[in-house]
Chain A
């Protein structure tokens, strides 16, 4: 089973709302990632969790707050977003380095901020 499940698939939120994106994997992976992808651009790394600890934050604004409650779950809490934050948010998981570590992506949450 190489599945990463993200919910919701689509989300429309106002600039004053608080919402959360959820990601789940049952592959026993111990590294989980959040990526942001704008149209016609490659995915850009936001956060990496390794063994449930935040290990990389790519200078993401504090209005995005990640959380890893356990080894299978990854959340992204959203608050006071801007219209330019509208994008496809992708979750991925893999085993941590070293070695050839393929990552598997969820279907993404398509976020629109109005």
Chain B
């Protein structure tokens, strides 16, 4: 079945460092891909999305490119801030089903 694998955390960075959180997926058909962010004590917010191969989703300085050849959707940011500290989830909606499948989440801690 469809699945999402993302890198284990926690990821600890200093402010202004470069961020990469890896995400790979397995799915039949052509899934839509998402990154969500969860701040402490809150629900999930959609951070960015991509619906077809080679699409680049971007928001708030974060970017991710839908790579069909490597089945990946890695999240990147050039310069992280303390306020970016949160849990980040990679997710997909399968091309053959309507199930919204999540990775296990990656905790990001940014230190001043």
Chains A and B are bound partners: no
User: Residues on A close to B: CB < 8 A?
Assistant: none
Binding site for A on B (CB under 8 A): none
